[in-house]
Amino acid sequence: MKTSLHCRISQQRLDKLRLYAVEQQKTMTQLISDFIDSLPTESQDKKSQVDRSVEESSDLPQN
């Protein structure tokens, strides 16, 4: 099911989004959807935290 999103932004930002959409040959909806899809999920956040912890521990001098 698709639904509508209504938001208030400045005319300058709307113009910038429209121009970028034309340059990318995409609709504004596609750009916003792509951005949302690129946001990390909670599980990705936890994995990143574990990855950083492992990297940090591997940087410690070994005895």
Distance between CA atoms of residues 18 and 54, nearest Å: 42
Distance between CA atoms of residues 10 and 34, nearest Å: 21
Q: How many CB atoms lie within 10 A of CB 16?
A: 12
Q: Please give the distance of CA 24 from its chain centroid, rounded to a whole number.
A: 17
Q: Which residue has the higher pLDDT, 11 or 53?
A: 11
2-52 pLDDT tens trace: 899 999 999 999 999 999 999 999 999 999 999 999 999 987 666 677 777
Q: What pLDDT, on a 0 to 100 scale, did the predictor assign at position 63? A: 57
| Structural domain boundaries in the chain | 11-50
Q: What pLDDT, on a 0 to 100 scale, did the predictor assign at position 4? A: 94
Q: Which residue has the tokens 């034309």?
A: 22
Distance between CA atoms of residues 35 and 7, nearest Å: 16
Q: What is the pTM of this model?
A: 0.62
Q: Which residue has the higher pLDDT, 37 or 56?
A: 37
Q: What pLDDT, on a 0 to 100 scale, did the predictor assign at position 61? A: 67
